[in-house]
Amino acid sequence: MGNEQLMVHFHPEERVFVDRALEWIKRAAEHHEVRLTDFLDPRQVFILQTLVNRHPDVQVRVDGGYAGAERQRACIAPDYVYLDAEPMNIEVLDIESPDRKWLELEHGDFMGAMLGLGIKRDKIGDIHVADDGCHVLVTDDISSFLDTHLQQVHRVPVTTVILPLAKLRPVAVTLKPMQLSVASMRLDGIASDVYRLSRTKIVIPIKAGRCKVNWRVEEDPSTQLRSGDVVSLKGFGRFKVLEEEGITKKGRVRVTVGVYV
């Protein structure tokens, strides 16, 4: 299958990444290069692994710094390289503060503070927020910069230190359950209830490409959701479809979703 035929299978927004991934694979196969990527989201990991599996002389290893990581770095190499010995160059940025307002900070506040310093999203892995501190997985080439320049998060003064991966304190993802009664499993109907927007208003950002289902851009409001699907809408957060619980007497669908908090 040629590259043009291959591109038909991907959303236009994904094609830049597909091009880059194909180039990494080509250089591993033809020039014996070993390439370590920045952090990828689960959809990008899936695309990369799919493309690598089409090439018999190339392999890939993914690692996000701990078991179950959502965002992971990938190492692409010729098939003869011992990938387990290749460094993934991930460090932990430990962020703390004695300020009582610390407990009001959320995941997005830490992300915003780092992006506000000019750091690219791809350099940042999973973020683990706890009551006594926040651990952020970062690429080793920007850890020192963040350690020096990250001095406040949403106007809360903070101190930082770089830790090895062995010191990481993962925090389990918290989902706030919501029970909904919807006409169907359509994306716009469920998202409308979760984000408390009218059906008319929710359709606008979906059609504008601001919604992702399982990390893939979804522009069709009528897309049917299933248990396990993760939905995100830029500026509104994300949720996971946990369970379809049957039909009510009035013919509506009972569904439980979990909102990421």
Predicted confidence (pLDDT) at residue 42 exceeds the cutoff of 90: yes
Check residue 18 and give its pLDDT: 93
Percent over 70 (pLDDT), the chain: 97
**Which has more pLDDT, 138 or 8?**
138
Say whether both 256 and 184 belong to one domain: yes
Strands 152-153 and 211-213: unpaired
Say whether both 22 and 70 belong to one domain: yes
Which structural domain, as residue segments, surrounds residue 46? 3-85
**Mean pLDDT rounded to a whole number for the chain:** 93
- Containing 43, the helix (H) or strand (E) segment is helix 42-52
What CATH number is associated with residue 237?
3.10.290.10
Decide which of 110, 142, 167 is a domain's last residue. Answer: 167
Decide which of 113, 135, 167 is a domain's last residue. Answer: 167
Say whether both 80 and 114 belong to one domain: no
Please, what's the largest Cα pairwise distance for the chain? 64
Say whether both 96 and 156 belong to one domain: yes
Decide which of 167, 197, 215 is a domain's last residue. Answer: 167
Check residue 246 and give its pLDDT: 86
Say whether both 154 and 185 belong to one domain: no
Predicted confidence (pLDDT) at residue 110 exceeds the cutoff of 70: yes
Mean pLDDT of 233-251: 90
User: Which pair of tokens denotes residue 189?
Assistant: 């109907």
Closest CA to 219 of 232, 229, 206: 206
Mean pLDDT of 204-222: 94
Query: Whole-prediction pTM value?
Result: 0.86
At residue 245 the predicted structure's pLDDT band, cuts being 50, 70 and 90, is confident
Find the DSSP H helices in 69-130: 107-115
Domain count, the chain: 3
The contacts of residue 101 (CB under 8 Å, 6+ apart) are: 155, 156
Check residue 1 and give its pLDDT: 55
The lowest-confidence range among 92-96, 102-106, 109-113, 204-208 is 102-106
Predicted confidence (pLDDT) at residue 147 exceeds the cutoff of 80: yes
Say whether both 180 and 254 belong to one domain: yes
Mean pLDDT of 169-190: 93
pLDDT in tens, 55-67: 999 999 999 999 9
What CATH number is associated with residue 20?
3.30.1370.160
- Radius of gyration over every alpha carbon of the chain, rounded to an integer in angstroms: 21
Find the DSSP H helices in 167-247: 187-195, 199-207
Q: Give 13's Cβ-side CA count (13 Å radius).
A: 12
Say whether both 52 and 103 belong to one domain: no
CA 54/CA 42 separation, integer angstroms: 19
Mean pLDDT of 214-218: 93
Check residue 30 and give its pLDDT: 95
User: Which pair of tokens denotes residue 69?
Assistant: 């990581």
What CATH number is associated with residue 134?
3.30.70.330
Predicted confidence (pLDDT) at residue 8 exceeds the cutoff of 80: no
CA 50/CA 43 separation, integer angstroms: 11
Mean pLDDT of 239-258: 92
Predicted confidence (pLDDT) at residue 111 exceeds the cutoff of 60: yes
DSSP code for 158 = -
Mean pLDDT of 181-204: 94
User: Which pair of tokens denotes residue 186?
Assistant: 């359509």
DSSP-based three-state secondary structure for 101: helix
Check residue 2 and give its pLDDT: 55
Check residue 107 and give its pLDDT: 87
